[in-house]
């Protein structure tokens, strides 16, 4: 388990440094926001999402453990068109839910996603519900606060 955590942290560090470097050359594209509002979790499930950026061919793997009932994750793409090539949830008993939340093969152009997962997260897909909201989002900017926003608008 310690090796898995170390690998996850190294992957996250790599992706963050790559994202920072890539962002210097490419503006951020679409976002995928994931919110969990779970009543319970069985075991320690891990969710693998692989995103292929259609505009530049980048493949962005995201792997995270779902350990908290209430959680928020945000994933970025660097183009306007992307495809989710894999969405798999694996439980520690090796049960694998392929096409988790029905995302495999989904293609999005100028649309970001807001995914909410509710219920009991178990290997039985009938115990939880994924709600996927797709919305038009042509730009996503990260900017430092302006002087007016720090002091409040007058």
Residue 22 has pLDDT above 50, yes or no: no
* Gap between the Cα atoms of 79 and 82, Å rounded: 7
Length of the chain: 154
Q: What is the 3-state secondary structure (H, E, C) of 51-93?
A: EEECCCCCEEEEEEECCCCEEEEEEECCCCEEEEEEEEEECCC
Give dist(CA 92, CA 37) in Å, integer. Answer: 21
For residue range 89-117, what is the model confidence (pLDDT) as tens digits? 999 878 999 999 999 988 999 899 999 99
User: Which tokens is 14 given?
Assistant: 């790599």
Q: Quick one: pLDDT at residue 149?
A: 42
For the chain, give the mean pLDDT. 80
Domains and CATH numbers, the chain: 2-140 (2.60.40)
pTM above 0.75, yes or no: no
**DSSP secondary structure string for all residues of 18-56:** HHHHHHHHS----EEEEEEEEEEE-S--EEEEEEEETTT
Tell me the two tokens of residue 140.
């996503």
């Amino acid at each position: 388990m310690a090796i898995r955590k170390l690998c996850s942290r190294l992957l996250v560090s790599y992706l963050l440094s790559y994202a920072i470097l890539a962002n210097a050359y490419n503006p951020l594209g679409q976002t995928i926001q994931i919110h969990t509002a779970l009543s319970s979790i069985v075991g320690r499930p891990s969710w693998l999402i692989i995103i292929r950026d259609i505009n530049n061919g980048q493949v962005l793997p995201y792997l995270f453990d779902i350990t908290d009932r209430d959680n928020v994750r945000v994933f970025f793409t660097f183009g306007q068109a992307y495809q989710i090539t894999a969405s798999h949830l694996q439980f520690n008993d090796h049960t694998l839910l392929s096409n988790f939340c029905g995302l495999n093969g989904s293609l999005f152009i100028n649309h970001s996603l807001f995914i909410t997962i509710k219920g009991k997260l178990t290997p039985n897909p009938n115990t939880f519900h994924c709600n996927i909201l797709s919305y038009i989002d042509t730009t996503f900017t990260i900017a430092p606060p302006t002087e007016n926003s720090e002091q409040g608008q007058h």
